[in-house]
Structure formats: structure tokens, C-alpha cells
Amino acid sequence: MFLNIMFFNSNAQFTGNVIKTLSKIDNIIIYNNGASVNRTGMINLEKGTNKIFISNLSPKLISESIQFNVKSNDIIINSISKQANFLGNSYNNSQVKFIGDSIQKINDSIRMKKVNLEVYNQEKDLLDQNKSVLKTSREFIIDDLMDLTDYFNQKIKEIQTNISKVNKEIFDLEKMKASLQKQMSTIKSNVNNQASDVVIQLTCSKEGEFNYDLSYNTLQAGWVPYYDIRIEEINSPIKLTYKAKVYQNTSEEWSDVKLSLSTGKLNKSNKAPNFNTQFIKNTTYRKDTKQKNRNISALQLDLIESDDEPNQNSVSSSDFTTVDYSGTQIKYNISIPYSIPSQKSPIFIEIQELDLKATYDYYCYPKVDKDVFLMCHFNKLNKMNLLPGSGQVYFEGKSIGATYLDPFSNKKTTDLSLSRDVSIIVERSLETKLSSESKVGDNIKIEKSYIITLKNNKNKIVNLVLIDQIPVSTKKSIDVQLTESSEANYSKNNGKLVWNLELKPDDIIIKKFSFTVKHPEKDKIYNY
């Protein structure tokens, strides 16, 4: 019989056999919003009632999620509960002990230095007294008196130097002590430093050694997708590394454990949800990032928004990762063990490496920015089982900025801006001679003409996409007409003008476009 007992409390007085034991993490499944920790262990039970304390567990485990499993027909589970254990966290206890020992050593050193300081002060007082007596004495000749005075002055100066030195040493030690005391106070006041015990009360029909499985969930862990995009040079394939940005702040040390990363949501407990009437309320929500992610925990939101540099804390495991498809979820199983410390900063785990074919061209929108930008384009990622996530782009070995990849986007390609290229010059200006404003009956007619000049100072042919625009009318009474386009691809819906150009070395290309705007004299128009 395989026992699967859910959580409930029992406050009954216990008088049977008490067992305190530790368990070992077997595997962990990390979800976007939490983690499921699975442990194993062994216990020696006596016949009759036994109470088992499984110690050094996360204080952030969800009580309702605890499951204790034993393969035996000889055991009846009476109760399972969770309780705090402020002395059980050996990791933090060792920190406290180390800091406490350091403070004690500093106190001993300060005490010895204060003793030395007292000796120096007494010696100085004695010399001052003798020097005063010397000045009033008539038993010494002038030369001897001067020699003795020099001696006293020199000796007092040496003692004063030693006093200053010791005072400085005491000051530095007191400062160090204050820092350690502050660190000690932080550790002791932090609730994360406590541990939890899972307490199981059971009845065993015969004594023996039994293996058990213990599992529980926590919300103080999770992961989000992250992308490392590297382009060595123009016209080379893209190396796309799909990573997991993983955090855990459970106060447990996950050392050399098997990890799985799931795209699904963690079931916080096995309780069925209750029905609640839905009432409509007049509430105004802020349309910001935190509002859009209001169902995400604060720790996970910090993880998403953080600017951590992945390469400093990244582990490669893409060659050891298998993918398991289960319904609407994807689970990445990593066959090599991992260590993830309990901390606020995340670590990066490589899931998959991909080589993507890419095309390159240059882009310029001189109305907004006259610089030319090197662009990279690659096909949609929707067939690669990837999730939307932020990332970092590297070009020619240098970081050029952050980006966001959305495999579910409706765009045909993903476009990346790599760099500005100053060797291609673009100038845009209004042709004043061809631009005017006049009155035609009851209407105002506006004519505008622009000229764009491009020069390629590179020693190779470049393909350049040139973008400009004319205004779009929002009223029937306002008429906008394109009168010249220099063979641009024109979209009447948004007024966009596109030229796909090939520029040879030292080429100079000129493009012109003109348009007219007619509107009633009584109307005022803007943005043209």
C-alpha cells in the first residue's frame, strides 16, 4: 500500500517514541510561480506510536501542500503538521557562531589594548611628575638639567605617539565590531533564518527500517525565460541561447540536486477551490508593469525587471537537457546536478542552444534620426517551443543592449538593431523653393517637398531601407495627396514611404518626395 497523506494538525499530547531526522533533496521542479521540493529519507520505527521530526526544512513551505509517503502496510498516519524551528537552520547557525566568535575576539583585543593604554597613561603621568620636580631641583648643573629635560620630552613624545596609535586601533576595532553586530542583528531578525520541521505522528504495527518520500511546495522560487543573442560578424548566423533565470529564497540550500523547469503553474495545494460570488467594483488600475503582472509574486517581478548580467553567474547545461511535453506544459529535465543557493540574486541555467539563419541590412528613418542603423532579421520562433522573455544582445563580442523576444508575435520576422554606422551619411532637408502655402477659394493649400541625400563611404555594397512619411488625413474635409515619391513604396493607410536601396562604394543617391494638404480656411491643422 502506498500512503499519500495530506496535511492536518493535531495538538494531542504525545507520549510515544520521538525521532529527529534529516532528509535529502531528491529532485526539485521549478515553476514560473514557485517550486515543488521532493525529499527522501530513512527512519527506524518502534512498534507502537512514533513521532517524527524532519528538520531543517524551508520556513516558507506551504503547509497545505505537504505530502508524506511510505510504502508499507504496517504504518498508520495519525497526523502531519508543520512547526517553526529557530534553532534548526544549521547554515545560518554557523553564520551566527562565526560572527559571534569574531566579536568575542575583537572584544578580547580591545580589552588588551585598553590595558596597554592605561600603562602608557600611567608612565606619561609619572614622567610629567618627575619633569616638574626636575625643574625645581637645585642639585643639577645646567648641562645635566638640559640633558634630562630633553630625555623627558623625547620619552613623553614616544609615549604620546603610542597612545595615539592604540586609540586609533581601538577605534578601528570598535567600528569593525559595530559592523559585525549589525550583521548579527540582521541575521537574527530575518524570518528567513528560521527553519521548519515537519512533524509526523504515526502508529507502526512492528518495528523496522522504512524509507519515506516527503514533498512540499513553496512560492519563494521560480524562473523566467532569458535569451543570450550573439552575432560574431555581419552575415554570420545568430547563436541564440535559451536560458532560465532562476531564483530561490527559501532559506534552504539546494546543493547538487536534480532540477526540472516547468512552463506550467504550481498547484499551491491540493484543496479544491470554493465558489465565491463575483461582484463588479468601480476600481481604477494603474497601467504599468506591476499591474500587468499583478498575479506574479514580488520576488518573481523583481527577477523579471532586474538588470543582472547573465554571464557572470551562468551554467551551461544545454547538452544535458531533455524536453518533456505534457499537455499544455513543457518540462525541461536537466540530467546534471545543480546547486542554487538561497539568495535574492538569480542564477542562469542554459536550456537550449540554437543557430539561426539571419539577414542583414541598414535602416534609416531620417525624420526622427539621421543616423544609419545596422539591422539583423531572423524568422519567427513560434515553432521552437520558446517562451517570451527579455535578453541581451552581443555584437562583435560587445554587449549592445537589452531586447525582448516574443515567439508568439504575429510579425513575420524578429528585428534587432545592432549598431549605428557613421560611414553612411544621410541628410534630409525641406526644399523651400518647392514648398508653399496659398489660398484656393475657401481652402488653404499647403505644398511641401523634401530631399534626402545618401552617401556610402564604406568600401562595400550595402543594402539600405530608407523610411519616411507624409501625413494622413483624419477628416473628409482635409485632403492629402502624394505628388512625388521617387519610386517609393507608399502605404496610403499610414503614409509610410519605403525605399529599398543598394548603395555601392562612394555612391551618392538622392530621393525626393512631395505632398499637398488642402483644408478649409476655417480649420486649423497640425502635425504636417
- The C-alpha cell that represents 455 in the structure block: 552617401
Same domain, yes or no, for 115 and 160?
Answer: yes
- The C-alpha cell that represents 196 in the structure block: 521548519
Count CB neighbours of 67 within 10 A: 18
SS3 129: helix
Q: C-alpha angle with apex 455: 451 to 456, nearest 5 degrees?
A: 150
In the prediction, which pLDDT does 152 show?
67
Q: Are 49 and 201 in contact (CB under 8 A)?
A: yes
- Mean per-residue pLDDT over the chain, rounded: 81
How big, in percent rounded to 5, are the helix, strand and coil portions of the chain? 25, 45, 30
Strands (E), 161-205: 195-204
Strands (E), 254-395: 254-262, 314-315, 321-326, 329-340, 343-356, 358-365, 369-379, 389-395
Same domain, yes or no, for 226 and 329?
Answer: yes
Helix or strand run (H / E) with residue 485: none
The C-alpha atoms of residue 415 and residue 423 are separated, in whole angstroms, by: 22
Rg (CA), the chain: 38
Identify whether 297 is part of a domain.
yes
The pLDDT-based confidence of 386 (bands split at 50, 70, 90) is confident
SS3 252: coil
Between residues 135 and 124, which one has the greater pLDDT?
124
Residues whose CB falls within 8 Å of the CB of residue 313, separated by 6 or more in sequence, listed in order: 345, 346, 347, 348
Identify whether 414 is part of a domain.
yes
The pLDDT-based confidence of 135 (bands split at 50, 70, 90) is low
The pLDDT-based confidence of 101 (bands split at 50, 70, 90) is confident
- Of 386, 421, 456, the residue that ends a domain is 421
- Of 421, 439, 458, the residue that ends a domain is 421
> Sign of the CA dihedral 410, 412, 418, 420?
negative
Between residues 197 and 522, which one has the greater pLDDT?
197
Same domain, yes or no, for 286 and 407?
Answer: yes
Strand partners, 364: 466
- Percent residues over pLDDT 70 in the chain: 79
Identify whether 12 is part of a domain.
no
If we measure between CA atoms, which residue out of 512, 364, 365, 362 comes closest to residue 452? 512
Read off the CATH number of the domain in which 455 is found.
Answer: 2.60.40
Q: Identify the domain containing residue 155 by its residue range.
A: 91-191
- The phi, psi pair for 439, rounded to 5°, reads -105, 130
Read off the CATH number of the domain in which 56 is found.
Answer: 2.60.120
Same domain, yes or no, for 24 and 49?
Answer: yes
- Three-state secondary structure string covering 353-369: EEEECEEEEEEEECCCE
Residues whose CB falls within 8 Å of the CB of residue 238, separated by 6 or more in sequence, listed in order: 229, 230, 231, 355, 356, 357, 358, 376, 378
The C-alpha atoms of residue 97 and residue 392 are separated, in whole angstroms, by: 41
Same domain, yes or no, for 73 and 53?
Answer: yes
264-268, 309-313, 314-318, 462-466 — which is least confidently predicted? 309-313
Count CB neighbours of 278 within 10 A: 6
Same domain, yes or no, for 401 and 461?
Answer: no
Say if residue 311's pLDDT is above 50. no
The C-alpha atoms of residue 471 and residue 475 are separated, in whole angstroms, by: 12
Place of cell 559592523: 179
The pLDDT-based confidence of 93 (bands split at 50, 70, 90) is low
Q: At what angle do helices 90-136 and 142-189 cross, to 10 degrees?
A: 160
Average of pLDDT values for 429-449? Answer: 88
- The C-alpha cell that represents 437 in the structure block: 502655402
DSSP string, 1-59: -B--B--B-------SEEEEE--EEEEEEEETTEEEEEEEEEEEEPSEEEEEEEEEE-T
In the prediction, which pLDDT does 474 show?
84
Read off the CATH number of the domain in which 164 is found.
Answer: 1.10.287
Average of pLDDT values for 163-188? Answer: 85
If we measure between CA atoms, which residue out of 392, 420, 419 comes closest to residue 405? 392
Same domain, yes or no, for 44 and 103?
Answer: no
Highest averaged pLDDT of the listed ranges 32-41, 278-287, 469-478: 32-41
In the prediction, which pLDDT does 87 show?
56
The pLDDT-based confidence of 53 (bands split at 50, 70, 90) is very high
Identify whether 8 is part of a domain.
no
Same domain, yes or no, for 386 and 350?
Answer: yes
Say if residue 486's pLDDT is above 80. yes
Say if residue 126's pLDDT is above 50. yes
Identify whether 357 is part of a domain.
yes
Q: Are 478 and 491 in contact (CB under 8 A)?
A: no
Say if residue 91's pLDDT is above 50. no
- The phi, psi pair for 523, rounded to 5°, reads -90, 140
Identify whether 255 is part of a domain.
yes
In the prediction, which pLDDT does 317 show?
54
- Of 202, 218, 234, the residue that ends a domain is 218
In the prediction, which pLDDT does 75 show?
92
Question: How many alpha carbons lie under 13 Å from residue 265 in its C-beta half-sphere?
Answer: 6
Say if residue 308's pLDDT is above 60. no
If we measure between CA atoms, which residue out of 376, 224, 414, 220 comes closest to residue 308? 224
Provide the total of helices (H) and of strands (E) in the chain, helices listed first: 4, 28
Same domain, yes or no, for 407 and 291?
Answer: yes
Average of pLDDT values for 495-507? Answer: 94
In the prediction, which pLDDT does 10 show?
41
Average of pLDDT values for 133-149? Answer: 54
Say if residue 399's pLDDT is above 80. yes
Give CA 112 to chain center in angstroms. Answer: 47
Identify whether 526 is part of a domain.
no
Identify whether 352 is part of a domain.
yes
Same domain, yes or no, for 369 and 398?
Answer: yes
Same domain, yes or no, for 128 and 151?
Answer: yes
What's the length of the chain?
A: 528
97-101, 332-336, 422-426, 464-468 — which is least confidently predicted? 97-101
In the prediction, which pLDDT does 452 show?
96
Residue type, 108: D
What confidence tens digit (pLDDT) does each residue in 293-307 have?
434 444 444 444 444
Say if residue 61's pLDDT is above 80. yes
Structural domain count, the chain = 4
Average of pLDDT values for 438-467? Answer: 92
In the prediction, which pLDDT does 421 show?
92
Highest averaged pLDDT of the listed ranges 11-20, 94-103, 233-242: 233-242
The pLDDT-based confidence of 375 (bands split at 50, 70, 90) is very high
In the prediction, which pLDDT does 324 show?
80
Q: Are 411 and 386 in contact (CB under 8 A)?
A: no
pTM as predicted: 0.63
Same domain, yes or no, for 236 and 363?
Answer: yes
- The C-alpha cell that represents 358 in the structure block: 539571419
Say if residue 215's pLDDT is above 60. yes
In the prediction, which pLDDT does 306 show?
47
- The phi, psi pair for 414, rounded to 5°, reads -100, 130
Between residues 527 and 330, which one has the greater pLDDT?
330
